[in-house]
A and B are shown apart, each in its own frame.
Chain A
């Protein structure tokens, strides 16, 4: 085992201690909790035994869009100092503190020739958060979720007992925790598989697509040939035109020039920070029209084998820190659903319905999901997933989204808890039919209900 990064120090991303008003990434529905920094398992056990009637919740980097990582009146645990990163090159696994961000994991491991098994659209999530939300990335159709690559994890349960859980010896605790939104206990560290790489570049094929049917056909027929695949859809243009980007890790011998000198270099930078915007934000039909047009135009009609950096390909938004501020004080939400292939037409209907109320999105992402994993609350299921960012202040948005919920439910689909900020408890129960099974496993780990969140209260989890 090689210790790659053992700082154990507070990161610049640590939360301030004490009473803090917290929201998710969408900056809606705030609540205040008491932030407490923990550095050891014993600190966590002490926090659990001190927990008052409002309970306790771990919060990572707050990238859930809704109310998953906040809990009014509760103790909010910040594990950012539990960020040790160890690499075992012999088995190709990493042993990482739950408070470490995937950003720090990549910075530590990419130069050694290893990549995380799954990365969402931002590196700014913690390992604990990635497990709690069972995050997926552009490789879900091939590699499944983050949780599918976790070998073992250490979990402190509601009684303060410490368990090392894995899928063979404790499948119930393991799969209740993967996708369990932090409600089964506090994960303190995890061991997960890595992808061996010889370069830090991705070889990317880009195609402009003329319509939703076009892009969906290309994804159905072609995605299997790629490890990574995602489509951006123009939410303004009624055709649903878009840009399909697919790729895989490039090998070192594909690199030329300066890149070939340092094939595993990984030093992504933040280029700008979005300012706080006091009024209605920069997001309105005019700017959305312009953004969608520009995003479509900037993509090449067809290009193969372009070498992009990890940050360019996976995390284009991380370049602008606090980009969620552009939506102004009303905040925004992301509506992400998964439906089976048989309901693929719901993608177009959802986009049309949102256009109908003027809820135009800049970041509209379409992806194919592969097989589901055994987690009762894990979101991905085979078929399509569409994610749409929309300003929360749009009139009539709630009613349209409720109507779309009905369609998602009827199609046998569901919404992603890490994105949700407004579905009803009835929608939750109907679309996650194994909720009661998950509740049994959760109750076994946390019989007193110490772990809770605003999301858990809102959806009666």
Chain B
């Protein structure tokens, strides 16, 4: 159960080797955790994530196989995790950035990005929501992105998947209102992770640990939407109101 200070006892990470998700689990200040399920592709990164958490003294860490694009398997994975006990927090943390130029040149690549980031998230998000509803409590934390706030010329395939995911998550949160289950949407800007290695850093770049702190505070306060870092909210509000003829010329 989540306690009065917003600290969970059980967490499911979808995208089990996500650096932001790992940092979030490690940022819970009081260690009430007794079950952490890392759902992801079998990989050295997932094994390393289990080792990192266990090494940090987190108890009850387990890995289960999960493939975001393989939606036919989602029901079985989610039911298996929830049948073994209540889940207080689900971190929907999988996603691929892809390469915009490659996606434009090869639409199949674009479809793959869309399948993981959007279709996979819709599939697993609805199944998670149904189980949270049944248990009458729990928070689905969705890692969206500021890239979804407004599609940019340089990044619109990825951005559009996040826009879709974000809209889906807002609606899902409203659908769950009054059921005890909640959705927390997190919109990070540029975060230094494996996903962004080699890219040129944007202004207001932060580390996974910074996003984690923001998520932990938002859980405690019961927020519905947070930006990471927080002031990006105002930057994005400004960018969203820039007229398109000007926006498409911006060097972003």
Contact = CB atoms under 8 A, between A and B. Distances in A.
B3 A421 contact: yes
B136 A333 contact: no
Interface in A305-322: none
Contacts of B6: 29
A412 to B, nearest CB: 23
Nearest to B5: A398
Contacts of B34: 425
Given A29-B2, A29-B4, A393 B137 contact: no
A133 to B, nearest CB: 17
**Looking at A72, A329, A393, A458, which has the most chain B CB atoms within 10 Å of its CB?**
A72
Contact of A393 (B134, B135, B221): B221
Contacts of A402: 30
A22 B204 CA distance: 40
Nearest to B86: A457
Contacts of B4: 26, 28-29, 66-67, 331, 333, 392, 421-422
Nearest to B181: A32
Given A67-B1, A72-B86, A454-B1, A21 B29 contact: no
Interface in A8-24: 19, 21
A398 B134 contact: no
Nearest to A20: B178
A333 B7 CA distance: 14
B30 A458 contact: no
A398 B7 contact: yes
Nearest to B176: A32
B221 A31 contact: no
Given A19-B179, A398-B29, A402-B30, A31 B3 contact: no
Contacts of B180: 21, 30-33, 72-73
A330 B217 CA distance: 11
Interface string B6-32: 110100000000000000000001101
Contacts of B179: 19, 21, 32
Interface in A387-412: 392-393, 397-399, 402
A142 interface: no
B222 A72 contact: no
A32 B138 CA distance: 10
B220 interface: yes
A71 B134 CA distance: 11
Contact of A422 (B3, B86, B135, B136): B3
Interface in B16-74: 29-30, 32, 34
Interface in A101-121: none
A429 B92 CA distance: 34
A123 interface: no
**Looking at B30, B32, B180, which has the most chain A CB atoms within 10 Å of its CB?**
B180
Contacts of A333: 4-5
A54 B83 CA distance: 12
Contacts of A331: 4
Contacts of A26: 4
Interface in B130-148: 134-138
**Looking at B5, B30, B34, B222, which has the most chain A CB atoms within 10 Å of its CB?**
B5
Nearest to A401: B5
Contact of A458 (B9, B134, B181, B220): B9
Nearest to B136: A72
A399 B29 contact: yes
A74 B2 CA distance: 17
Nearest to A455: B1
A424 interface: yes
A29 B135 CA distance: 14
Contacts of B7: 398, 422
Contacts of A54: 134-136
Contacts of A21: 178-180
Contacts of A422: 3-5, 7
**Looking at B4, B137, B181, which has the most chain A CB atoms within 10 Å of its CB?**
B4
Interface string A22-62: 00001011111100000000000000000000100000000
A402 B7 CA distance: 13
Contacts of A397: 5
Contacts of B181: 32
Contacts of A29: 1-4, 6, 137
B136 A74 contact: yes
B222 A73 contact: no
Nearest to A422: B3
Nearest to A393: B221
A187 to B, nearest CB: 24
A397 B221 CA distance: 13
Contact of B178 (A19, A73, A424, A454): A19
Contacts of B178: 19, 21, 32
A458 B222 CA distance: 19
Nearest to B217: A395
Interface string A425-461: 1000000000000000000000000000010011000
Contacts of A67: 1, 4
Interface string B170-200: 0000000011110000000000000000000
A71 B136 CA distance: 8
A297 to B, nearest CB: 32
A327 to B, nearest CB: 11
B143 to A, nearest CB: 23
Interface of A: 19, 21, 26, 28-33, 54, 66-67, 71-74, 329-331, 333, 392-393, 397-399, 402, 421-422, 424-425, 454, 457-458
Given A19-B178, A67-B4, 6 more contacts: A29-B2, A72-B136, A73-B134, A393-B221, A398-B29, A424-B32
18 contacts: A28-B4, A28-B5, A29-B3, A30-B137, A31-B137, A54-B136, A72-B135, A72-B138, A74-B136, A330-B222, A333-B4, A333-B5, A392-B5, A397-B5, A398-B30, A454-B1, A457-B1, A457-B86
Q: Which 5 A-B pairs have the closest CB atoms?
A: A72-B136, A32-B180, A421-B4, A28-B4, A73-B136
